[in-house]
Structure 1
Amino acid sequence: MIAQQRQSVILQMVRAHGGASVGELAEHLEVSPSTIRRDLNQMDKAGLLQRVRGGGAPEADDLPFPQVAARAADEKDRVGAAAAAMVKDRDVVVLDIGTTCAAVARHLRGRSITVVTASLAVVDELRGDHDVELIVLGGLLRSSYLSLVGALTQQALAQLRADIAFLGTSGLRTDGTVMDSTGTEVPIKHAIRAASERTVLVATADKFPGSGLLPVLPVTDLQAVITTADPSTAPLDTLAGTSTEVVLA
């Protein structure tokens, strides 16, 4: 297989799965890891994908937000309803970026709470609500993700104290590692967790194991996981007896 054909297959795999590791690509294409690394570096320079540690991830423009929002929409709505049930009146709530957190926001309408977010999708859900006090974190706009990122976002979170936060994820590995596909979002997730008394992961069934090449934190560092996945799915089946609650939506 010539390089052009090989890189076409790499691009298809990365786009289909939201990311792929060097090992996965090398095994699928039956070539050496060094060949895959060379291909990924060339494709990154050409703007075809993002070269991330351990593999490749799609360019943001490859995953339009409305298209992602339409996937598993019913499951996201169920997760959103279960998450909203955890919120008490007058709570300060931090909502991460992503389509599942936008579904959480939809179920928080009409509540006497404060919502803090860097997600423009969350802003769209709540901006007309007169009951919710909405605080929008500053930062650099990433239009394809409808999010604000960067040092300003992290600095604002460092000054915040919240009652509960909801984190999104690109995948939850069988070993319990919460993953992300974008390096700029990982420190923001850390800052959200540090700012919140309770941090809850929201993840539909397709996030097991999902995608993403960047580890964020162990799921056992969180207080709960709200999911539509079968409770026998790893790593949910290992969380019994830990301090991390599993809530089935």
Structure 2
Amino acid sequence: MLQHVRHAEIMQRVRLAGATSVRDLAAQLGVSPSTIRRDLEILDRDGTLTRVRGGALASEGASADLDDDLPFAGVASPGERDKDAVAARAARLVRDGDVVLLDIGTTTVRLARHLSGRRVTVVTSSLAVVDVLRGDPAVELLLLGGMLRRAHHSSLVGVLTEEALRQVSADRVFLSASGVRPDGQVTDSTIAEVPLKRAMMVAAGQVVLLVDRHKFPGNGALRVCGPEELDVVVTNDGADEPTVRTLTAAGAQVLLT
């Protein structure tokens, strides 16, 4: 496992649990305890976590930086107005009769609420999206199969999910992300979700990225895609202007709300 990928996994596990041990991390990631100790020393120097004897603690305020990597119930309130504005604007891109892919994430769940009552087909691996739309007779709802991840928005991921996407032809996909770097690179922090996002992009005719203004630059050690692979980016007024210009120069339509 590459070091930056391993660091992303360590940060995620420490932030979710609040504290963890060297022994547990080594077993979970399949590396030696000495490797984990070196990783924790680096992350402690960076201020990402706090190194303690035998393990690590989440740094004060670290949970506020995670957003889409936290369990869904823990992120329903921060930045709610910005996220809902992004979701409402994104819903205006959907036409009756469209087939849309909804990624895992808090903003895509809000988008699902804005699609309620619409004559559309929604394809997703997010059980949170399913909970929003399961009782809506107007929406045709298709759930992708896969491995259940209970702690992360109750979603389905893995090779079965990606294989199911090979059978899907959607008009557009609405992606979430942990951040957008100044060079326009879209990043995420969760190893299991990155291949799924890429598979969704392949299955859709149009790629729409939903990121509130706080995701500039956001966080995430894993590359999802470059700016040239995005068709539309929906964000808020106040998003980092140089990054917005980079996205526009790469060919993406940036919609501010």
Q: Hey, what's the Cα distance between the residues in 2 that align with 1:182 and 1:141?
A: 14
SS class of match (1:201)? strand
SS class of match (1:226)? strand
Equivalent in the alignment of 2:234 = 226
Letter in 2 for 1:173: R
Kept after mapping to 1: 8 A contact 2:213/2:240? no
Q: Hey, what's the Cα distance between the residues in 1 that align with 2:70 and 2:197?
A: 20
Q: Does 1:142 align with 2:152?
A: no
The alignment's TM-score, normalised by the length of structure 2, stands at: 0.74
Letter in 1 for 2:121: T
Q: CA deviation at 1:198?
A: 0.3
Equivalent in the alignment of 2:81 = 74
Q: Do the aligned partners of residues 209 and 232 (structure 1) sit closer, same or farther apart at CA in structure 2, a change above 3 Å counting?
A: closer
Q: Does 1:191 align with 2:196?
A: no
Q: Hey, what's the Cα distance between the residues in 2 that align with 1:197 and 1:179?
A: 21
Q: CA deviation at 1:65?
A: 1.2
Equivalent in the alignment of 1:127 = 134
Consecutive unaligned residues of structure 2, counting only runs of 5 or more, are: 1-9, 17-35, 44-50, 58-64
Q: Do the aligned partners of residues 184 and 125 (structure 1) sit closer, same or farther apart at CA in structure 2, a change above 3 Å counting?
A: same
Q: Hey, what's the Cα distance between the residues in 2 that align with 1:47 and 1:237?
A: 42
Moved over 4 A (4+): 46-49
Kept after mapping to 1: 8 A contact 2:122/2:141? yes
Q: Do the aligned partners of residues 94 and 11 (structure 1) sit closer, same or farther apart at CA in structure 2, a change above 3 Å counting?
A: closer
Letter in 1 for 2:157: V
The alignment's TM-score, normalised by the length of structure 1, stands at: 0.76
Q: CA deviation at 1:237?
A: 1.8
Q: Does 1:162 align with 2:164?
A: no
SS class of match (1:110)? coil
Q: Hey, what's the Cα distance between the residues in 1 that align with 2:15 and 2:218?
A: 13
Q: Hey, what's the Cα distance between the residues in 1 that align with 2:129 and 2:110?
A: 8
Q: Do the aligned partners of residues 38 and 230 (structure 1) sit closer, same or farther apart at CA in structure 2, a change above 3 Å counting?
A: closer
Kept after mapping to 2: 8 A contact 1:93/1:162? yes
Q: Hey, what's the Cα distance between the residues in 2 that align with 1:87 and 1:11?
A: 36
SS class of match (1:111)? coil
How many residues of Structure 1 are paired with residues of Structure 2 in the alignment? 211
Q: CA deviation at 1:63?
A: 2.4
> Superposed, which structure 2 residues align to 1:195-214 within 5 Å?
195-214=203-222
Equivalent in the alignment of 1:118 = 125
Q: Hey, what's the Cα distance between the residues in 2 that align with 1:90 and 1:47?
A: 52
Q: Hey, what's the Cα distance between the residues in 1 that align with 2:84 and 2:95?
A: 19
Q: Do the aligned partners of residues 192 and 209 (structure 1) sit closer, same or farther apart at CA in structure 2, a change above 3 Å counting?
A: same
Q: Do the aligned partners of residues 47 and 222 (structure 1) sit closer, same or farther apart at CA in structure 2, a change above 3 Å counting?
A: farther
SS class of match (1:75)? helix
Q: Which of 75, 92, 105 in structure 2 is aligned with 1:98?
A: 105
> Superposed, which structure 2 residues align to 1:12-31 within 5 Å?
15=15
Consecutive unaligned residues of structure 1, counting only runs of 5 or more, are: 1-9, 17-33, 50-57
Kept after mapping to 2: 8 A contact 1:48/1:59? no
Kept after mapping to 2: 8 A contact 1:11/1:48? no
Query: Deviations 1:30-60 (Å, cap 9, x if unpaired)?
Result: xxxx97525479x8xx8869xxxxxxxx999
Kept after mapping to 2: 8 A contact 1:178/1:215? yes
